[in-house]
Structure 1
Amino acid sequence: MIILVMGVSGSGKSTIGQLLAESLQWQFYDADDFHSPESIAKMSKNIPLQDSDRMPWLMQLQKAIDHWLETQNNVVLACSALKDSYRIMLWRDPQQMRLVYLKGPEKLIQQRLQSRYNHFMSADLLDTQLDILEEPKTALYVDISDSPLEIVDQIKTYLQLQP
């Protein structure tokens, strides 16, 4: 099974994804690690990515998801997946995938981004992410105002998952 944890930068995808994977004894992957050096350089310079920049990234993720499903690996994937079209590309097997959307107040996300160091995605790009965000119609919506451990417990309870 694959749990795709989505949301804008600063919503806690990596933190929640790692904690969830650890608690389930699953593998964790961060979609940021699949970006090309060119895309990371753009974002580091506060240049928002275009769909043409994202396409190779999405194709790499699609390939990884296919592999995980084929080898029956249990994976938590932290991925922004901001547009419905991106999620459609990544959604390989509805029986083996679950979508968790981390949602919260813009002010809280902005505060998180401003206090974050050593990440290529700056707080200046949050508006561009919010502009293109298409909230999923079918997903587990989770309020990011709760503590990370509470969020992980909510996800596990809702999805009826145990290690």
Structure 2
Amino acid sequence: MNGAASTIAPITAPIVVVMGVCGSGKSSIGRALAGRHGWSFLEGDDLHPPGNVERMSQGQPLTDDDRHDWLAAIGERIAEADHAGAGLVVACSALKRSYRDQLSAVSPRVMFLHLSGDRALIEARMAARAGHFMPLSLIDSQFATLEPPQPDERAVTLPIDMEPGALLDEAEDRLDRLQLQESAR
């Protein structure tokens, strides 16, 4: 270093929303990512109103109206982390562009990690999962609702058929690169 001031903006801890259909590994990867960096982890499912949980438990897909208050509650937690300058990882399906736009509007630090997998793999994971309110019967509605992130979104998409450690390493690398690209603008 020559002692001159750096022209590169300092990189702050991101707010990463790990998104995807049910059974894609949002919670597992999100917890691991948060744990590696000492960031907070938020399980978005914990913020669903009881009526939403009841509907999903009965195999009824949620509507945009059903998700409105849930996304607002997640947005409040994102705003708190943004205000504190803290790193946060949120597990949230964020299946539609409009949902991601709602969350992105809360903080310029929001980035998305889309965990993508085929129906057969998701189905196998869902069948092996115990104690979750989301039934296997809602897989079709999840895939029907999914609008994968577009190039103009702050998002990275990775396949879930990777070994979890490799997936986590790749996610960190790609999210770091995305953050560096944006800080250089």
Higher relative CO (CA 8 A, sep ≥ 6), structure 1 or 2? Answer: 1
Shift of 1:86: 0.5
Q: Which moved more, 1:62-71 or 1:10-19?
A: 62-71
Unaligned runs of 5+ in 2: 1-13, 178-185
Instruction: Summarize deviations over 1:132-160 as a string: whole Å, max 9, x none.
Output: 11011132111100111111111112223
CA contact (8 A) 1:19 1:149 kept: no
1:159 to 175, 181, 184: 175
Size of the aligned set, in residue pairs, is: 160
Q: Does residue 142 in structure 1 map to residue 158 in structure 2?
A: yes
Q: Stretches of 4+ moved more than 3 A in 1?
A: none
The question of whether the paired residues in 2 share the 8 Å contact of 1:58 and 1:86 is answered with yes
Q: 1:9 aligns with which of 19, 22, 35?
A: 22
Task: Say if 2:55 is the partner of 1:42.
Answer: yes
What's the TM-score once normalised by structure 2's chain length? 0.83
Instruction: State the AA in 2 paired with 1:16.
Output: I
SS in 2 for 1:68: helix
Question: Which of 135, 140, 158 lines up with 1:122 in the alignment?
Answer: 135
Q: TM-score under structure 1 normalisation? A: 0.94
Is 1:83 aligned with 2:96? yes
* Percent of residue pairs bearing the same amino acid type: 39
Deviation for aligned residue 1:93: 2.6
CA RMSD of aligned residues (A): 1.2
State how far apart, in whole Å, the 2-side matches of 1:53 and 1:79 are. 14
